[in-house]
Structure 1
């Protein structure tokens, strides 16, 4: 076994990034390593219950500096509209002095980062290794390295080029602001200047993309697998009684569960179209989304008469839910989600039919891979407006829930086969163990040189 190391973690200040980083921190701590986790102050309370090794994983809060346009008190991407996400990135770019002070005091061996391009430069200055660890898909990272791919332009060596963004899907790059090409450049700088590239994926899903990244960056790409928490990581937690009782009232595999994560907020008309589309399926459903923009609660934004019409059949919930536990309930038969990389892995490892409504660039790419190449899922088609109609949503859900549906049976067979591959004994845990061993070797080699 290699000697123990001390790692810093500096993920993007979004819960969709910080939570997977914390899962990785738990794996490192389980092997006896120490982690200093850099995060905004308000995130501490939400992440603390997920820290399984508080004696080895220490949260260090950072104070975001003021940035023009960033609301006072905003610290994560969930605190701002998606089009203002770049302001959080700008604030994170200004934290170098705070982080360097902590580096001088604690002298880490490694630092993990994703989008802050100057981290490798800082690590070299202080004599330790930088790990560009990405929790988004290798398909999206490949797009950063393939000039023009984000615009759907020809890129001969880009793997599976037909999954590149095209048409109105290119608009999903709006998360990065109008200067998204500058953002791509910063990510690429971090990838090419770091010591180690690592991605939360596996060869079985994205092998060609991983090879593409390795070729373009001229360095080995280490994979962690999906790095999802093990069931025992939930400390024996069971699904809340309210959801267990409600779901128990429906037949096995009959309920549609829909969730878009905490980072994406719908417009009111989009939210209402989503609700009406679920109603139109005629199937029992549970929708867990944030209240739409301009609404303080879910109830005030619901379509007129909706609650009365779906009473006993459907629920729209504006609070947090334990997604993995809901997916494991036998009544859930379909999972409608945004194809965020965490939800995507949970989809693949579930027994549910998978329906994607991607919102952001990496989600669009991985949706194309899963629907067009692997054929384990289906995608809701959008209108020219960029959103989808209630009819499109309803028809798509029913196409996979109908037991006589050809497409439904096709994706079910393919999904079952792919899940069996991922769930084969030792596959995913082997990725994590191999990754930790590689880091230990890297640190040992550095110390002995």
Structure 2
């Protein structure tokens, strides 16, 4: 093998997957100890401009477009999950479109002859294409190891192809319960998890895709570390008999530029560490009732707050007027001067790092949690779906970072009182809890440590490429 390591990366067509792949690409391509890593990044053509905009001006990462084949029922122009409403059946058809890129991917691998191909859950066929060409394959999990350990290990097969709600409420056999805070999950979370075992139109379910990906690849790459998830990592390695190459936790790159003047001015009117900021990411949405209880709960705290509320593209035009129509009666007048509700994109990292922001109420998406911890904000987590539930358990219970908003076990609903209680609790955290939070923040932000994770990962990648 020559000195330059060539890696092809192919994430699933969702920016919640594309972003971690880009973060990994930047880490390994810029590693000073790498000896040179070149990355070729694959995605649907419509996503390429946005992906390129997220790359530094000088980079060894090139982006190659793929052209999605037409799939009956999939609307023209849909090339990522961002183009779909969250409950659309077309989300399953997008997976079939990804499957349809197989000939293009095979042709590219024949032409490029990379050493390694890093791929996602939506293309379980990739090892069948790559390995005969001498290209070693690595499955990159964009989720915390706890999610893989709880949901997508072979031990789940002991329940058969269609596990029941009761089956999923309990961890799989051999799960490291002694080292984990997770003894079971409530019914509403288990009901949400059942989605990954559901087959649509006779096709492979998400569970089957993930397990086949891992069983067929040469190794697993995970954005975690033994300090945070050691017992879960050991369990996954044992279940699959495959090594996990650890990229270290993906710590957000400090944002560029300045905070928009209107937010800087508004936030600047409050004392240090007193403002509550709430946002649920770009693809997680609250119900009407959830929005109302969140807002009234924040009002009950008596603290200043800034809330970002968005809706799926198909439900609203996202304009501020649409949000105002949904506000509780009299809410604007009651919180005038200390409460702000916004719709649309905001500079989340800039806001979290503002000195007046002390608490982050979020959905426990892994990237958002990391941004909150890195900014030094206290966390009040309100997971809404999927891996978010397990992320909240990992951080709040295993690691002692933040709290979870109390929910009803049957349907997962929450009240204004539970929102208020969680925010007040975390904002009044005792010295020991704040010390633990500070310890993890220091760990995540230690550059030498993060550089070490990357250097060791690149070394493992080179060893795998030579094998």
TM-score (norm 1): 0.90
Write the distance in 1 (CA, Å) between the matches of 2:295 and 2:315: 17
**SS, match of residue 82 in structure 1:** coil
Q: 2:234 matched to 1:211?
A: yes
Write the distance in 2 (CA, Å) between the matches of 1:102 and 1:172: 37
Unaligned runs of 5+ in 1: none
Q: 2:337 matched to 1:299?
A: no
| Residue 21 of structure 2: aligned partner | 21
| Residue 237 of structure 1: aligned partner | 257
Gap change, CA 1:281 and 1:175, over 3 Å in 2: farther
2:140 maps to which of 116, 119, 133? 133
Gap change, CA 1:98 and 1:363, over 3 Å in 2: same
Residues 6, 115 of structure 2: 8 Å contact kept: yes
Gap change, CA 1:156 and 1:309, over 3 Å in 2: same
Write the distance in 1 (CA, Å) between the matches of 2:339 and 2:94: 36
Residues 65, 95 of structure 1: 8 Å contact kept: yes
Residues 181, 398 of structure 2: 8 Å contact kept: no
Write the distance in 2 (CA, Å) between the matches of 1:118 and 1:219: 18
2:433 maps to which of 407, 411, 420? 411
Where do 4+ consecutive residues of structure 1 move more than 6 Å? none
Unaligned runs of 5+ in 2: none
Write the distance in 2 (CA, Å) between the matches of 1:177 and 1:289: 31
- Counting only pairs closer than 5 Å after superposition, residues 189-338 of structure 1 correspond to structure 2 as 189-231=212-254, 234=255, 236-291=256-311, 294-296=315-317, 297-301=319-323, 302-303=326-327, 304-338=329-363
Write the distance in 1 (CA, Å) between the matches of 2:2 and 2:456: 12
Q: Alignment RMSD, CA only?
A: 2.5
Residues 6, 109 of structure 1: 8 Å contact kept: yes
Write the distance in 2 (CA, Å) between the matches of 1:210 and 1:76: 30
Tell which deviates more after alignment, 189-198 or 297-306.
297-306
Tell which deviates more after alignment, 262-271 or 120-129.
262-271
Tell which deviates more after alignment, 96-105 or 127-136.
96-105
TM-score (norm 2): 0.86
Write the distance in 1 (CA, Å) between the matches of 2:208 and 2:376: 39
| Residue 110 of structure 1: aligned partner | 116
Gap change, CA 1:338 and 1:218, over 3 Å in 2: same
Gap change, CA 1:307 and 1:68, over 3 Å in 2: farther
Q: 2:140 matched to 1:119?
A: no
Residue 178 of structure 1: how far off its partner (Å): 3.4
Give deviations 1:34-87, integer Å, cap 9, x for gaps. Answer: 222111233223322221156521222222233344333222222223334433
Residue 409 of structure 1: how far off its partner (Å): 4.9
Gap change, CA 1:337 and 1:300, over 3 Å in 2: same
2:52 maps to which of 48, 53, 57? 48
Write the distance in 2 (CA, Å) between the matches of 1:211 and 1:350: 30
Gap change, CA 1:174 and 1:212, over 3 Å in 2: closer
Gap change, CA 1:388 and 1:127, over 3 Å in 2: same
Residues 83, 176 of structure 1: 8 Å contact kept: no
Tell which deviates more after alignment, 368-377 or 133-142.
368-377
Give deviations 1:218-250, integer Å, cap 9, x for gaps. Answer: 12211111233433xx4x422222222211111
